[in-house]
Amino acid sequence: MAEPLKNLYTPEVIASLADAVKKEYKSFNKAKFTAHVFDPLWEERELKQRMRHITQSVHQFLPLPYPEQIEILKKIAPQFRGFIAMFFPDFVEVYGLDHPDVSIAALELFTQYSSSEFAVRPFIMKFQDRMVKQHLSWAKHKNHHVRRLASEGIRPRLPWAMALPQFKKNPKDVLPILERLKDDESEYVRRSVANNLNDISKDHPDVVLKIVNNWKGISKETDWIVKHASRGLLKQGHTEALSSFGLNHKVKADVLGLKLSRSKVKIGDSFGFNFDVELKEKKAHEVRLEYKIYFMKSNGKTSPKVFQVGTYKLAPQQVLPVKRTHRFADLTTRKHYAGAHKLVVVVNGKELSSVDFVLA
């Protein structure tokens, strides 16, 4: 099993942080700082709680005006990368809202070593017009991490982050930023553009479908963006989205012989299933195959989750055999509950065959 992310904040990491701060601020008490970080509640804290606790500890043991604190953090930030360095932008989020000039510049720097996508959002809420212009400027930055922030930071529905209700209601200020980034040389940036559009599609599918049709065919990169951006609509069986990618919602097809390897499976185990798809058309068609599982939830009701099998071009009367395995392991994003479940085969957005099973 993978090591929990919260364990990234090891004693060695905190010691390195203390050493780095001490080098810039001679009065910094490394021993007291370290003891404060690893207090009796440390083991109980999850990742974001540990990050916030480190943020607060740095603030407490660096008793300087905020701009001076930031100058020290800017000097040491390049020594720390990835998740470990997330407390740098978190420091700005917690203590910097009353110092926008200093803070925005710091977020631009810190995102180059971790990510300011969460920390920037309170600034968007408080200084919307200014931050929209800032994101447009970041979209032209030479550093691809900053260009990614231009999109990721202003996503209306960024997971695990503060929502931006004004952009859920009307994304018009977000679209020019994405337009500027659609041809970015970095796949890291383009993926963020696609995820941003997928967010927007949940509230404004017509807006995203217009962009899909405008961008499709410009390049293989924009083709990938619009396909990935449409994944939510495609999973919903949205007929216009399907049509945009050459998929006919009304295609005639049969699903034959859907079988499970077992009808009862334990949480944590897996089962196999197989079926055939036969195209009942007089000419070739592309078919998007998915399976949908109606999962039992904690409230006793079921909720569907769609899993993609693939997209295939089938000749008239062609029969395509499909075999898959599904594992029912708990994830950070999904917890399983015992009870009656159902697996459904979906062809171009239509449910065509189903089978019941029990999760125990």
Return left, alpha or beta for 263; rule: phi > 0 is left, psi -120 to 50 is alpha, else beta: alpha
Q: What is the pLDDT of residues 226-243, one digit of tens each?
A: 999 999 999 999 999 999
pLDDT at 2: 62
| pLDDT tens sequence across 308-332 | 999 999 999 999 999 999 999 988 7
3-state secondary structure of 279: strand
Q: Which domains does the chain have, with CATH numbers?
A: 5-244 (1.25.40.290), 253-359 (2.60.40.10)
Q: Which residue has the higher pLDDT, 34 or 3?
A: 34
Answer yes or no: are the C-beta atoms of 357 and 264 closer than 8 Å.
yes
In this structure, what token pair is assigned to residue 250?
């009304």
Which pLDDT tens digit goes with each residue over 205-230? 999 999 999 999 999 999 999 999 99
71 compared with 2, residue with greater pLDDT:
71
Q: Write the burial class of residue 85 (CB in 10 Å: 0-12 exposed, 13-18 middle, 19+ buried).
A: buried
- 24 band by pLDDT with thresholds 50, 70 and 90: very high
pLDDT bin (cut points 50, 70, 90) of residue 12 is: very high
Q: State the Cα–Cα distance between residues 271 and 218, nearest whole angstrom.
A: 42
Average pLDDT, the chain: 96
Q: In this model, does residue 35 exceed pLDDT 80?
A: yes
- Predicted model pTM: 0.88
